Chains A and B, each alone.
Chain A
Amino acid sequence: MLKNHPVLKHILGRAAWYLVTFLVAVTINFFLPRMGKANPVDTIMAKVSAGLDTKSANAVEEQYLKEFDLVQVDAHGKVVRGRDGKALKTSLGSQFVNYLGMSLRGDLGGSILQHPKRVSEIIKGAIPWTLALQLPTIVFGWLIGNVLGALAAYKRGVFDKLFYPGALLMSAIPAFCFGILLVYWFAIKREWFPAVGGYDEGLTPALSIPFLSSAAYYYVLPFLSVFLLVVGGQAIGMRSMCIYELGTDYVKYAKLLGVKENKILYYMFRNAMLPQLTGLAVSLGTMVGGALIAEIIFSYPGLGMTILTAIQSNDYPVITGCCLLVTTTVLIANFTADLLIGLLDPRIRAVQGGK
């Protein structure tokens, strides 16, 4: 059946590949933190054990060990004990199986710092902020960067001479540096915009006009700090792709046929976009990483800050939860880009369909 649907076959093939990648990512997420000596229960116990006698401390510890799946539990929820009366440790393998099941159900475990809050709860609050910041900056930054890069390649001359060094500079500035610069100039020196946060602290998050307008006001600087840099980086890549396309035989032939300039411009743009889309897949991880760091500069209430706070307090479940979420999102974005390329490039379709 698949034979007759090359497009479907392509999509399924890619989906399978990304699923494998996802499983690898989950595996890394599980094993890497457990390679270190860090044990969440020790961390919590250091915090809560003060003032408890040994017996009740042991009971509390056992409770936590159960919760973090470090000891074996029988069907009745009782801790399984060995002959010496000590709780039997869960093997890494079965921990992993449990973890896999939980992750797939969207449960990322419990937080240490904000115990007994679940990690998914903490992250849920941060996701909208990060999405609102990153999705538009990367999508629009990518589009506008490509248009400007194509224009620079096509027009050359003065426009290119001014634009190119500017774009090169923008692509070289790290997002966090640019963020600091914006904060210093437009928030501290001039007080045009707020320096930190995602909204006025006097407000509670809600879909109300005062809250939304406050959020928009706080949005400007973080947005710019990432957006302009994405534009710069993409424009550089697109410019050189377009210069290459302009030298190809098919552009020369179209010119000799007397095809209109704007049509040729469209050919060039579309064909140069395809490698740019592939490039996006490769650079997306870096872009997202850069934007997460930029969030920190603005103390923006997104995932970047969540990771930072978690790192500062050794809240491993939150760190790994955030990491898994970011990785998954990047994978989904990559998958989308992949499908778009397959859709837009007949060459890939032809190869996939076996002709």
Chain B
Amino acid sequence: MKLFKNLLKQPSFIFGASLFLLTLLLALLGPLVFHLDTKTRVGLAYMPPSAKAWLGTDHLGLDMFSLLIQGLRSSLYVGFVAGTIATVVGTAVGVYGGYKGGLIDDLLTVLTNLFLVIPSLIVLILISSSLEEGRSLTLIALLIGATTWTWSARAVRAQASSIRARDHVALARINGYGTAGIVALHILPYLLSYIFMVFIIQTATGILTEASMSLLGLGPYDSISLGKILNEAKTNEALTDGAWWAFMPAMVLITATVLALYVLNTSLEGVFNPRLRK
């Protein structure tokens, strides 16, 4: 509670949290509040914003605003799914390695370090381009999570092994707690704030990676994402036609979401870190 009060004193936290909540609300409530239609043409290609189409139309004459909300939903979905996988897998590997040590830890560490230096975008390109069946949004999210967990594993492992060295873990052992109890009660609570920060960063990474893949033409076939909107705008000459509404709002949404997450992360770091160092 005191922690939360300290957070609320930080203007950066307020800014990051409200910006993120805003995008989240837009994505969650958008379809309920507005009448969205991403299938029917509402006019000609690249019509500027009007009362009928608030943010104009795309190259097919579809309503940009509807596309945008749908795209934001997909991007956030990818971010959360990829972020969750990367965080959960990374935490499991990191905590196991940091607490248990031994041969398996050594192997995991080598594996982690190995995949840490091989660019994950490259691995994603290799996998995605060979998938002939096409890539659903969920599959892309899974793939992103599966290639980015190494970063979380490394970060969490370092923290876990420093906590393992604390006397309270030895005390828990001679109090008769088993490995599960020690990890759950005596190690994870210390890591929770840190894992949360890892999750935030991994979510942002997920959103950015999906957009990058969409721009390479490796985006989802079954959904509209913010990256895909940009890709369509780029390939269909929206830039040269001066149709700013076809790409600017999508860019603002991506940047705002990522910025909100980064700001949240730094403000949390400011509050958590002095405690961690203690």
Contacts and interface: CB of A to CB of B under 8 A. Distances in A.
Contacts of B255: 169, 172-174, 177
A331 B240 CA distance: 38
B239 interface: yes
Contacts of B211: 174, 176
A183 B217 contact: no
Contacts of B254: 174, 177
A234 to B, nearest CB: 14
A51 interface: no
A289 B212 contact: yes
A312 interface: yes
Interface string A280-292: 0110111011101
Nearest to B255: A173
Contacts of B266: 168, 236, 240
Nearest to B244: A184
A285 B212 CA distance: 13
Given A172-B258, A311-B216, A36 B118 contact: no
Contacts of B212: 174, 176, 289-290, 293
B130 A38 contact: yes
Contacts of A25: 118
Interface in B111-131: 114, 116-123, 125-127, 129-131
A344 to B, nearest CB: 20
B216 A308 contact: yes
A171 B251 contact: no
A181 B251 contact: yes
Contact of B132 (A36, A169, A292): A36
Name, among B119, B240, B254, the residue most crowded by chain A CB atoms within 10 Å (CB to CB).
B119
Name, among B116, B120, B121, B244, the residue most crowded by chain A CB atoms within 10 Å (CB to CB).
B121
Contact of B117 (A174, A320, A331): A331
A203 interface: no
Name, among A32, A281, A314, the residue most crowded by chain B CB atoms within 10 Å (CB to CB).
A32
Contacts of A311: 125, 129, 216-218
A307 interface: yes
Contacts of B131: 36
B78 interface: no
Q: Determine the main DSSP class of B at the interface with A.
A: helix
A55 B204 CA distance: 55
Contact of B122 (A37, A169, A327): A327
B130 A312 contact: no
Contact of A38 (B122, B132, B230, B234): B132
Contacts of B130: 32-36, 38, 316
A319 interface: yes
Contacts of B154: 282
Given A168-B266, A171-B262, A319-B129, A28 B118 contact: yes
Contact of A32 (B123, B251, B258): B123
Given A174-B258, A180-B251, A316-B129, A326 B122 contact: yes
Interface string A295-308: 01100000000011
Nearest to B263: A168
A352 interface: no
A285 B117 contact: yes
Nearest to B233: A180
A323 interface: yes
Interface string A248-290: 0000000000000000000000000000000001101110111
Interface of B: 114, 116-123, 125-127, 129-132, 151, 154, 204-205, 208, 211-212, 215-218, 230, 234, 239-240, 242, 244, 247-248, 251, 254-255, 258-259, 261-263, 266, 269
Interface of A: 20-21, 24-25, 28-29, 32-38, 168-169, 171-174, 176-177, 180-181, 183-184, 188-189, 195, 236, 240, 281-282, 284-286, 288-290, 292-293, 296-297, 307-308, 311-312, 314, 316, 319-320, 323, 326-327, 330-331, 334
Given A172-B255, A297-B215, A327-B118, 12 more contacts: A21-B117, A21-B118, A25-B118, A32-B123, A36-B132, A168-B266, A174-B208, A188-B239, A188-B240, A285-B122, A293-B216, A311-B218
Closest 6 CB pairs of A and B: A285-B119, A36-B130, A289-B121, A172-B259, A32-B126, A177-B251
